[in-house]
C-alpha cells in the first residue's frame, strides 16, 4: 500500500460546486487555511485518480466533513 486512496469524484465536484468554487479558487482557499492541496491534486482527485491520504484529510477538513464521506467504497 502506497498511502494513496481513491476519492468519490462526484461527491468532490458537488461539494466544490455547492460552494460556488472553481478548482483554482478551491486550491487558493485551501492554501489560505494552510491546507496542502494544489490545483493539480484537485484535478487528479476529481478525475478519479488516487491521491495521498493526507490530501483526503485536508479536503475533508476544508469541507468540514468526515474523511469517510469522500472516500470511494472499497470493492473486492
Residue 68 has pLDDT above 50, yes or no: yes
Give Cα separations from 57 to 47, 54, 63, 76 (angstroms).
Answer: 18, 5, 10, 24
- Domains of the chain and any CATH numbers: 4-69 (1.10.260.40)
| pLDDT for the residue 7 | 95
**Where do we find the cell 468532490?**
12
pTM here is: 0.87
pLDDT digits (tens, 9 = 90+) for 5-62: 999 999 999 999 999 999 999 999 999 999 989 999 999 999 999 999 999 999 999 9
The C-alpha angle 42, 10, 31, rounded to 5 degrees, equals 25
Amino acid at each position: 500500500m502506497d498511502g494513496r486512496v481513491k476519492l468519490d469524484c462526484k461527491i468532490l465536484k458537488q461539494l466544490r460546486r455547492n460552494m460556488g468554487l472553481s478548482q483554482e479558487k478551491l486550491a487558493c482557499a485551501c492554501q489560505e487555511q494552510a491546507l496542502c492541496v494544489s490545483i493539480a491534486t484537485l484535478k487528479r482527485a476529481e478525475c478519479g485518480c488516487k491521491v495521498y491520504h493526507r490530501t483526503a484529510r485536508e479536503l475533508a477538513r476544508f469541507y468540514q466533513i468526515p474523511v469517510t464521506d469522500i472516500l470511494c467504497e472499497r470493492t473486492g
